[in-house]
Amino acid sequence: MTCCEGWTSCNGFSLLFLLLFGVILNAVPLVISTLEGNKALENPISCFEWWFPGIIGAGLMAIPATTMSLSARKRACCNHKTGMLFSSLTNVLTVVGAVYCILVSTQALLAGPLICNPQHNSTANCKFSLKDLDDFNLKSFNLEWFLSNSCVQDASSNSSVARAHGLHFDSKEKMYRMVHFSVFLGLLLVGSLEVLFALSQMVIGFLGCLCGVSRQRSRIV
């Protein structure tokens, strides 16, 4: 096995783990909302999970590259120059999906959970459009909603949200904030790692196409 084939196999398993982890993270707010009996888009945690950054961006869009990388392993049907080239090209789609996951996750961390701003950041105002990603501004990025004791601005807002969701703010508000932070920070890391692995496979795939694969495997194919 050449270094190109070994690195391709490593990238394939890494992408497989990351896409599965991204799908699971994306599903966490949806599962919590379902278990608590909330209707569609009525979730005090977030609305950004409905953009499916982990399921579509880090998940489905990484499947072609993952499949090609795993198929380029020893004795597999894609272990030849053409297979290595396709394993490289399919990672372009992985990079696009991972960048989408990063942008959505960053905006989610910037906005904070819906429970922190129930009037202006309600699920009714969630617009699932890529145009909303243009509003992101690094200067306004902070995690004050997560670091403060309570992200709800005043007692009136506190009581209105509590009536709407049946919350006790010493427990569930902190839980929702922790879930939101953990999910989207995790998706941000997943997207970033997918970009790194995809870019490395794009390089190693072209090298494998130029230099060829092991002779033993070429005879088997």
Domain count, the chain: 1
CA atoms within 13 A on the CB side of 125: 9
Q: Does 83 map to a domain? A: yes
- Predicted pLDDT at 168: 43
Helix 91-111 / helix 81-89 crossing angle, nearest 10 deg: 20
Angle at 98 between CA 117 and CA 66, to 5 degrees: 140
Q: Does 10 map to a domain? A: yes
Closest CA to 188 of 56, 68, 53: 53
- Predicted pLDDT at 26: 95
Q: Does 147 map to a domain? A: no
- Predicted pLDDT at 198: 94
Q: Does 126 map to a domain? A: no
Phi, psi of 39 (to 5 degrees): -80, 175
Q: Does 144 map to a domain? A: no
- Predicted pLDDT at 167: 44
- Predicted pLDDT at 37: 65
Phi, psi of 122 (to 5 degrees): -75, 160
User: Which residue in the block uniquely carries the two structure tokens 């919590």?
Assistant: 32
Q: Does 97 map to a domain? A: yes
Q: Does 135 map to a domain? A: no
Q: Residue 71 and residue 78: Cα distance in Å, rounded?
A: 5
Walking along the chain (221 residues) 10 residues at a time, the average pLDDT comes out as 68 94 94 72 73 94 90 63 78 95 88 70 58 58 61 51 46 80 95 96 80 51 36
- Predicted pLDDT at 63: 95
User: Which residue in the block uniquely carries the two structure tokens 């990025």?
Assistant: 141
Q: Does 53 map to a domain? A: yes
Structural domain that includes position 215: 3-39+47-119+154-220
pTM: 0.78
